[in-house]
Structure 1
């Protein structure tokens, strides 16, 4: 049986928020939170693979994908603000409790959701979504942190590489043993959205705000220790942004965390969809059912 994926838009605080939705709304909900520079497009194949058992919701963050892209003057573009919109969407959809899949930027948004309403979170799947300083690969993050600490022309240049065709393709194919498994539609799609006038300034603003995520880590770790929330880290072990130490680090505060390292890179779904979908189904089946 095939499960239809619906493409919908809600208005949250006056902003259009695009989201993909599938499955029975009465089933346990799984919220998929995407990273940079993509959108819910990254979950296009995962959603139908899970919709027979779960109610799956995957929004595009403001400034990404098909969601609204207000000017910098009209929206703050901080991770707090992105979380506000995500929280507003879930409440509008009547999603009171949910598991979540977080990747890249989706992780700091997800951590904020947990800190605001810990009792709403039933389980966490993190796919190359860091919650510890371990795993932050220095060769990538030194430029982001330099820019966040001292924004200006000298520090902005290096981080702009992430907005170029070479930089976006690098995220998709680096660490993937067989890059032919990764469709070029992925980075072509992302680049078209990054090329919208003013989007580069939005992304740079979020780069500058990333240090707030690191500052949040001690609170996140305390949440993990206090809640012992079920967590699966299914991780592209060859990621040169969030290395495998980031996956192993979850066991510092969640001794029962399940860690699965895969021979692939940052966007692991592109090469290991079936493996990851199977791991999620087994994990959520154990901890939710």
Structure 2
């Protein structure tokens, strides 16, 4: 009889356990307010006859953060960061013509230059009513963003620099050697020598090389980017842009003068294992922006894919302190 009573008691206890656990979970959940989930809007507008795609989120009257992507990707690179900022900030992430979901006109009919790309983005943000903005600049986004700063220095409320160059020290990687040859001599042979830079092998390399944990990197990145690179005519778009990157180098002294003269609050978050824009490109910023906050991360070219958990709090803290006062 004692055994029967013991078995019955254990059965009652076992049956009660999940109920108690469920009650505890319900109590814990009800005691907290679930955070609002930001809504990302995917929009298009036509500028100079070209459809320009952009992602936008956050309060329309919030401080603006303009997110400027690198090569060979698009605003897709900011898909995970935007929701983490959009509760307070108006985040705008465009695709340049020739990239992502924007139109990619034939390269014989559209000037794929950094000057023209900056003009397009300038017209976009003006149309969207962004009279003042901080900029997250990465790779190609750096010279495009800094060209915007030269046009409208009074509009720049801050800079977040992630593997984006403005100094000669940042162009010493062997990656640039064949590109520099093409800058000096625009022969077809030198252009053809760059074809390998738009292949799947190199696209995947940009996402995986130097990353501490490749399992963090979604293969969707290089699959999507390569599908867009492989569109008919897009290789010429990319080779035109690679060739024109050299037009940014003579502007470096002007970019640096902007830093010195206007001293925008600046956060530098740099993947130190990047073989395209290596770590050597980061410290020179401190010559002209001595109050910049610099964090060198154990990551590669697309550090947001590897270190979002580290970068997002740094970015949010910086914006809250320096931009949204």
In which range does the TM-score fall when normalised by the shorter chain? over 0.9
Question: What's 1:262 paired with?
Answer: 297
8 Å contact 1:98–1:123 — kept in the other structure? yes
Query: 3-state SS of the aligned residue for 1:66?
Result: coil
8 Å contact 2:173–2:278 — kept in the other structure? no
In structure 2, how many angstroms separate the alpha carbons of the residues matched to 1:156 and 1:80?
A: 21
* 1:69-108 aligned within 5 A: 69-108=104-143
8 Å contact 2:211–2:300 — kept in the other structure? yes
In structure 2, how many angstroms separate the alpha carbons of the residues matched to 1:145 and 1:88?
A: 30
Deviations 1:172-214 (A, max 9, x none): 1111021111111100000000011000001111111011111
In structure 1, how many angstroms separate the alpha carbons of the residues matched to 2:171 and 2:278?
A: 6
8 Å contact 1:33–1:102 — kept in the other structure? yes
Deviations 1:112-148 (A, max 9, x none): 0000000000000011011111122421111111112
* Structure 1 residue 154: Cα displacement: 3.3
TM-score (norm 2): 0.87
In structure 2, how many angstroms separate the alpha carbons of the residues matched to 1:167 and 1:49?
A: 30
* Structure 1 residue 286: Cα displacement: 1.2
* 1:74-223 aligned within 5 A: 74-223=109-258
Deviations 1:149-182 (A, max 9, x none): 1122432343222100101011111110211111
Question: What's 1:273 paired with?
Answer: 308
Query: 3-state SS of the aligned residue for 1:53?
Result: coil
In structure 1, how many angstroms separate the alpha carbons of the residues matched to 2:293 and 2:307?
A: 17
Question: What's 1:58 paired with?
Answer: 93
Deviations 1:56-108 (A, max 9, x none): 00000000000011111221110000011100110110110000001100000
TM-score (norm 1): 0.98
Unmatched tracts of structure 1, length 5 or more = none
Asked if residue 285 in structure 1 is aligned to residue 285 in structure 2, the reply is no
8 Å contact 2:271–2:301 — kept in the other structure? yes
In structure 1, how many angstroms separate the alpha carbons of the residues matched to 2:171 and 2:139?
A: 11
In structure 2, how many angstroms separate the alpha carbons of the residues matched to 1:150 and 1:175?
A: 32
- Could you tell me which of 61, 74, 91 is aligned with 1:26? 61
Between 175-184 and 104-113, the greater mean CA deviation after superposition? 175-184
8 Å contact 1:135–1:243 — kept in the other structure? yes
* Structure 1 residue 229: Cα displacement: 1.0
Deviations 1:198-239 (A, max 9, x none): 000011111110111111100011111111111111010100
Question: What's 1:2 paired with?
Answer: 37
Question: What's 2:262 paired with?
Answer: 227
Query: 3-state SS of the aligned residue for 2:270?
Result: strand
Structure 1 runs of 4+ aligned residues shifted over 6 Å read: none
Question: What's 2:3 paired with?
Answer: none
8 Å contact 1:137–1:240 — kept in the other structure? no
In structure 2, how many angstroms separate the alpha carbons of the residues matched to 1:127 and 1:227?
A: 20
* Structure 1 residue 11: Cα displacement: 1.2
Question: What's 1:16 paired with?
Answer: 51
Q: Please tell me the root mean square deviation across aligned C-alpha atoms, in Å.
A: 0.9
